[in-house]
Chain A
Amino acid sequence: MRGATSILRYLAKRITLLFGTLIIATYITIVIANAGGYIDEILSAQIKYDITTNLARTQGWAQLPEEEKTRIINERFESAIKAKGLDKPFIERSFYYLIDALTLNLGRAIFITSASGSKRVADIILERLPITVLLFTTGTVLYSIIGLLVGVYMTKKPGGLFDKIFSIFAIVTEVIPPWFFGILFIMVFSYYLGLTPFGGIASVPPPQDPLGYFLDILYHASLPLFTWVFSLFGAWAYIARNLMVQIAEEDFVITAKAKGLPEGIVMRRHILRPSLPPIVTSISLSLITSWQGAIITETVFNWPGLGSLYSQAISALDAPVIIGLAVVYAYLLVVTVLVLDLTYSLMDPRIRGVA
């Protein structure tokens, strides 16, 4: 029981912090965006649109003279603005906006439409979200596993040839972002070798049968996945290796070795296990960076997730979508950290309260 309460206390603290972060990130976005008057514009456009579409459905509307129509629209518009508190000073309004944004009430896009035909920003973004999450979660799981394995292998003989080569590989791939490798890999694997498609998620037209469709997506995802893993597993292995090399010098490891325990057991129980919590902490930080790196990587591979939506919205100057994306990204990062915190609290005995 003591374990459970201390996990809960830890999580409650983290959730408060994360929720605070979410609110602050969203609020910053709102303040920045509204300094250009964008949010006011988005909201009044939304209200006007709602009023006009509602009125158009009422009986006898079409028969009214044009001035009468404008008068009614303006009247209702003004009262709606008052009712929503949009005539209040910005400080007060910003809190209404904050609540709207946090409940994903993000307004209507100017140019971009979702595949289902909706103009609501929330629809447009939520439709893309799974596509991004699918690719990059798979990629992240893959590079974490490969990286950890390589890290363990490097720890076996610190200073050995494998360790040296991989340290250099790690430090070189660490400083070069995945999207940059993406550009080079498209040139090599798609243009010169013709092995992979140039981008996108499926062929045009996509295959009809479900298995063919799945394989087609896999074929299109192969190069982005490879790029993601190639670019990130090295740094990851290096972090794991450094932590494990430090732990391998601790007295309890030396004792375990002196007792004559097999190397595999020493590695798993005495080295790998205590290094996992700090490894999880650093993965949560690197995940935050890589979620954002996904924006550019998707643009390069034309992968139709959030990142491509970003570049689409930037070139169309669709401000509501850009602001909405910033909010969704704040959610995405906060949820990622929360999930990792949960894992961390289950993994670290100090938090579990089992001393």
Chain B
Amino acid sequence: MNDVLHSTDTIAAQATPAGRGGVGIIRISGKKANDIALQLIQQQKYLQPRFAHFQKFYDNNQDVIDEGLVLFFPGPHSFTGEDVIELQGHGGPVVINSLLNRVLNLGARMANPGEFSERAFLNDKLDLAQAEAIADLIDSASEQAARCAIRSLNGAFSDHINVLVEQVINLRLYVEAAIDFPEEEIDFLADGKVEGDLQSIIDQLDIVFKEANRGVLLKEGMKVVLAGRPNAGKSSLLNALAGRDTAIVTDIAGTTRDVLREHIHIDGMPLHITDTAGLRESPDAIEKEGIRRAWTEIKDADRVLLLVDAADVQESDIKTLWPDFFAELPDLNKVIVVRNKIDKTDERSGVSELNSSHVINDVNEALSIELPTIRLSAKHGEGVDELREYLKKAMGYQSAVEGGFTARQRHLEALKQARYYLGIGQTQLTDNGAGELLAEDLRMTQNHLSEITGEFTPDDLLGRIFSSFCIGK
């Protein structure tokens, strides 16, 4: 019974946090791990187990991607109990990205959140007492991944993908209807419609893929939302955070007029900062819409900085000031209160944090205890370093689970697979006139796209057919 637990596929993922670390590690687990490593380093010989080999890593054009260490841990004496390869390269996102891409091209698949630990557990490498921890990890990792996925789908990329998916569905609609309802005088496979639509989807996917590859459409990093009244000093804080970082400040395309996004790096770690409209009841329709969008941003955030003017608001008043705000927050643990303008009060700069292991469960609790609070002056710079340290720490934690970087990798991989099947399907239709094989390739295309956009079942498809065509002999 135990052997059915063994997975058939080989998985890979970055094991070190995203960002510019000194060393980046990619871990591969499964039957093909060793083969993949040998192809990567272009060696035929056997890798000595548990021995650090210094090697060059090659891409498929024989160019060197990076050089670093390869370690081989044959199963069952490995972390997962399967054959495991560790590649230790240089930590920059570009290098690690290329290396992981190469590994995926050589036949591994992107690991699901928590999958390494899951395999370790299933292969008896972790004891029973750790089962709960594994469950927690899978749970939080997949939640995090889902959030990252949603985030990287903001704006232009999301629009492109949604349009594409809609077109794939539409095409499948025609192909499947022609197959399942041949007596309905709707043979789209024969009349050239399908061929034209297919070419158009392929062209568009090629464009999206190119842009995504260039990083135009996807941004990585933790998302921090600034919330608070207009005069609380959000812009100053934004400038303070960005200004000290000599690296990058960019406006990202797709900025709405009421939600301002900034992309900055703190010590090489990417961060999205979003400035939102003030949250208050308003009869004004435009402002209402702004507030609605602000809430969307807040719910999607990793951290919410709730800015207050220290001169206006007593520390003890914060929660009573905005009970609705706390009641509507999906996760109270991501809020940190920022008391700005301490230059006008006598408060000392610094962070007062909760016991880090404490988890806030409900609104009442949040209202009854001290929230993590940072006192600073955005104008004079006191306390801003502490905030940066705080954000870095938060970021380090989340990257260890699954960062935007991985989410992007997943999407690109899904797009690549989708493109591959569309290409094959096109050949089947044009060269062989095999509509049923095109249908199969379109099914695979959609399966891969659904990793980005969510499930679409055969029943959903049939539903669409019945509402689009008058079926029924």
A binds B: no
Residues of A at under 8 Å CB distance from B? none
